[in-house]
Amino acid sequence: MAQSNRICFTCGKKYGYCPDCYEDRFLETWHIMFHDNNCKNVFDIINKHFYNHITTDEAISQLEICDLSGKFNEDIQKEIDNILVQKKVEIKSTNQTSYEKKKK
């Protein structure tokens, strides 16, 4: 395996991967851009949402399965925050509506 010859597109972590090396011959080709499956999944979700292949609700439910505790690149984190803030807005508006109904 090559020594830290790549940088993960999603989180910026340095890692080693060489598609021509004997040790890496059975690894999936997505290792060219991402150091682990979580980073690949986060990027895929954000990309699908950006191009309207999935709805915001679908993106939220898929992101909730991912490990978002790590540090991501600034642009990636901004997109994650933009998607997840929709859930907070939805919850807030739902609670407000319930309160208004009780008030009447």
pTM listed for this prediction: 0.81
| Residue 101 predicted with pLDDT over 60 | no
Mean pLDDT of 94-98: 58
| Alpha-helical regions (H) of 1-104 | 37-50, 56-65, 74-103
Q: Determine which helix (DSSP H) or strand (DSSP E) holds 14, and give its type and residue range.
A: strand 14-15
Mean pLDDT of 35-52: 97
Q: Which of 10, 16, 17, 6 is nearest to 71 (CA)?
A: 10
Q: Is residue 80 part of a domain?
A: yes
Q: Is residue 89 part of a domain?
A: yes
**What residues make up the domain containing 13?**
6-103
> Are 32 and 6 in contact, with CB atoms under 8 Å apart?
yes
Q: Is residue 99 part of a domain?
A: yes
| pLDDT for residue 90 | 62
Q: Is residue 1 part of a domain?
A: no
Residue 64 structure tokens:
């909730």
Q: How many domains, in total, are found in the chain? A: 1
Q: Is residue 47 part of a domain?
A: yes
